[in-house]
Amino acid sequence: MTLFEWSDDLLVGVLEIDDQHQRLVELINILHDTVINPDQDSDKRIMKEIIEELFDYTEAHFSIEQYLMGLHAYPESSAHMAEHGKFIDNIRQFERDFKENGTSVREDTLAFLKDWLYNHIMKVDKAFGQYLNSKGVY
Ligand SMILES: [Fe+2]
Ligand SMILES: [Fe+2]
Q: What is the dihedral of CA 76, 23, 3, 82, to 10 degrees?
A: -20
What's the distance, CA 130 to chain centroid? 20
CA of 39 to the centre of ligand 2 (A): 31
Closest ligand to Cα 76: 1
* Residue 121: predicted pLDDT: 98
CA of 103 to the centre of ligand 2 (A): 27
Residue 62 to residue 67: CA distance in whole angstroms: 8
Closest ligand to Cα 127: 1
pLDDT digit string (tens) for 17-30? 999 999 999 999 99
Closest ligand to Cα 21: 2
DSSP-derived secondary structure letter, 104: P
* Residue 31: predicted pLDDT: 92
Domains of the chain with CATH codes: 27-134 (1.20.120.50)
Which residue positions in the chain have pLDDT lower than 50?
Answer: none
- Residues having C-beta closer than 5 Å to ion ligand 2: 125
* Residue 42: predicted pLDDT: 64
CA of 40 to the centre of ligand 2 (A): 34
CA of 112 to the centre of ligand 1 (A): 16
pLDDT digit string (tens) for 115-127? 999 999 999 999 9
CA distances from 2 to 32, 61, 122 (A): 8, 23, 19
* Residue 124: predicted pLDDT: 98
CA of 121 to the centre of ligand 2 (A): 6
